[in-house]
Structure formats: C-alpha cells, structure tokens
Structure 1
C-alpha cells in the first residue's frame, strides 16, 4: 500500500475540554474535505492519547497524499489557535511502517440508546401511524444494549447550524485497511472501514 502522512495537533491548556477541541478540529477537516473534493473520504482521524477516560490531548490527521496534509495543516483556524498559544502543530511526517493499526468508528447506534432519542423515535413512529393526539401516552421502551466504551465529541454543522454528538469507539485491528472514512475522518459500522495508525506520541 501507499505511504501515509500525518500531522498532529496538541491542545496546550492543561484544563481544556479535549472532546470539544477535537470536535472543532474535526469540523475544520470536514470543511477542508467539502471544499477539496479529491480529499473526500481520504483523510482519517487518529487519537494518539486515547484512553478510557478521554479522547486525549492530541488529535492527528492521516492521508496518503502529503500535499493534502500540508494544506489541511495550514487551515486558518489551526493557525489562529497556534498564534493564541492554544495549539501546537507538528510538521507533516511519514507514518512508520511498523505502526499499529486502529479503527476509530462513529457508532450512531449509541445515540439511539439514550432516552431522548428513544422518545423522539417513538413520537415519530406514532405520528406516522396517526396515533399521536393529546390523550395518547408514549409506550415504555424495553431495549437492552451492551455498549463498549466510547467518547462523545460535540460537532457543529456549518451548513445546517445544528449541534450534535459523534459517538466514537476505538478498535484494534490486525491489518491496514485502505483509506475509506466518512466526512468526519471516522470509520462507520457499515461500509466505511478505513484504519489509521495509532501514533502514540
């Protein structure tokens, strides 16, 4: 397979909300892909400091195209945060051949396990069935799911103005899978199974 390149961003404030900052960085990468169609689904996100407690103080972006990584690293938001002393950005480096492969997956089914989501789905299905009136109460749901550890990354959509959560899980994998990510640089439960190097720093 082709060589891969990456750069990492480290959030310097000690008491920062790492999930919030990861979401802002991912949003910038998403905008970069939307405006550079050749980058769409080709850039992956890695979290070198991921733990059970947090996504960590560092985020990395990975792609097979070095120039693409250089272009992304010079996005105005990243430059502004560096100038403000809030981010440290590495240079674009080649991924080592012996890197451990991992998959960071956006698991949307996690969100469906929370009560608010269940209630909205029930309301929608009742409305579709034209059962929702002033006197109808919501049925009690009885769904039991076992969910592996995950982190919540808040994202704001520039196009819709909506705020939502990316539920992200980490999985160790035995081999590298070609770049195939969603527009947030993550794998999905279904068709997008791209992997990224773990990049422990």
Structure 2
C-alpha cells in the first residue's frame, strides 16, 4: 500500500479550453509548492480522462501528504472557480490499492523539434561559430517522430515567460514517490515519479 491521496479538479463548461485550464491549475500548484518547501517534488499531476485526442476535462493532484493536498485544494483560484460554477472539486481521497500506475512525462525534446526552435538553435550555433572564426553550414536534421502527446501552455511566475509543456503518458509497473519536477511531472531523465490512473474513480 502506497498511502497516497489525491483530489480532482473537473472543468464543467462544455466549451472549456482544457489545455489552458490544466496549465493554470499546474501554475497554481507550482506557486503553492514554492511557498511550501516540504512539498517540493512530492506532488504529482494526473489527467483522469486523458485520451489520444485530449487531456480530458479534469486534472488531479497526488501526494503522500494529505494535509498538503488539502492546503492546495483551498487555494483562492480553485475556490473562486468553484464558486463561479466553472470547477467541481472532489475531497482529498485515498488512492485505491489496486490503482494502475502511470507516469506523465514532460518531453522537452518535442518542443526542440519544432521549426521555430530549430531555427533559434541553428542561429545560436552559427553565431558561436562566427565568433570562433569558423564557417558553419546550416543543416536541418531529419524530423523526429514522437508518440502521442498534448501541449499545456502556462506562465512561469519566476521568469514571467510563457512556456509550453509537451506531455506524454507512459504505463508503469512500480510506484515511484516524491520524484516530480516543479510542475508535478516526470521527465525523460531526471524525474521518474508515477501517479495512479484515476479514470475509473468516482467523486
């Protein structure tokens, strides 16, 4: 038994931009954790209704620390959206022992593969080569093919810049606790945190 808890934020409007709302919710969690260092790397994000076509109309937060999740669930943004009838929030609930384990990965290689990013990297490389007195030919690598992913836009409060998270889903066997980046996600190398699949959870 992993002794984890979760709560779900469900987006109620049929017209909701779920990617945008997921990004906003992740930003709220990011800011909350920065003010509560005991929760650093300890809160994971799950998308209960993820499909190949969509992130789904909900986001969940998972952690061992029940009190930490209660504090997160009472953040003013969540309370306001609930009062406005735009969000439905579950209580903080225990994760079922038989829940399937998954991982949501931020894959930064996807963003780097897009043309705009390629051009910026090529320009930087060319500038460096010119400063070193070398001639560098611009070569565009063959496009990489990635498994299904979704984009989540969010604003970084620390840098005041808009960033794009490219997120993929991966099935897992073992549970890995307290191993998430500051956005509640795993990564290809450093962070390997897993979360329960919650699509069959009633709340």
Tell me the residue number matched to 2:180: 181
Contact persistence 1:44–1:185 (CA under 8 A): yes
Contact persistence 1:123–1:138 (CA under 8 A): no
Q: CA deviation at 1:140?
A: 3.8
Tell me the residue number matched to 2:65: 65
Q: Distance in 1 between matches of 2:16 and 2:136?
A: 42
Tell me the residue number matched to 1:79: 79
Q: Distance in 2 between matches of 1:129 and 1:34?
A: 39
* Unmatched 5+ stretches in structure 2: none
Q: CA deviation at 1:142?
A: 2.3
| TM-score (normalizing by structure 2) | 0.93
Tell me the residue number matched to 1:170: 169
Tell me the residue number matched to 1:157: 156
Q: Distance in 1 between matches of 2:84 and 2:196?
A: 29
Q: Distance in 2 between matches of 1:71 and 1:106?
A: 25
Runs of 4+ in 1 over 4 A off after TM superposition: none
* Unmatched 5+ stretches in structure 1: none
Q: Distance in 2 between matches of 1:36 and 1:85?
A: 28
Q: Distance in 2 between matches of 1:193 and 1:159?
A: 24
Tell me the residue number matched to 1:32: 32
Write out per-residue CA displacement over residues 111-158 of structure 1, whole angstroms, 9 at most, x where no aligned residue. 011000000000111111226xxxx99724023312000000001011
Tell me the residue number matched to 1:148: 147
Question: Are the structure 2 counterparts of residues 140 and 57 from structure 1 closer, same or farther at C-alpha, using a change threshold of 3 Å?
Answer: same
Q: Distance in 1 between matches of 2:162 and 2:190?
A: 25
Q: CA deviation at 1:59?
A: 0.4
Write out per-residue CA displacement over residues 27-71 of structure 1, whole angstroms, 9 at most, x where no aligned residue. 000001111001110000000000001100010000000000100
| Count of aligned pairs between the two proteins | 198
SS of structure 2 residue aligned to 1:7:
strand
Q: Distance in 1 between matches of 2:177 and 2:6?
A: 15
Q: CA deviation at 1:161?
A: 1.3
Q: Distance in 1 between matches of 2:193 and 2:28?
A: 20
Q: Distance in 1 between matches of 2:48 and 2:14?
A: 17
Contact persistence 1:122–1:138 (CA under 8 A): no
Equivalent residue runs for 1:1-201 within 5 Å:
2-130=2-130, 139-200=138-199, 201=201
Q: Distance in 1 between matches of 2:37 and 2:198?
A: 26
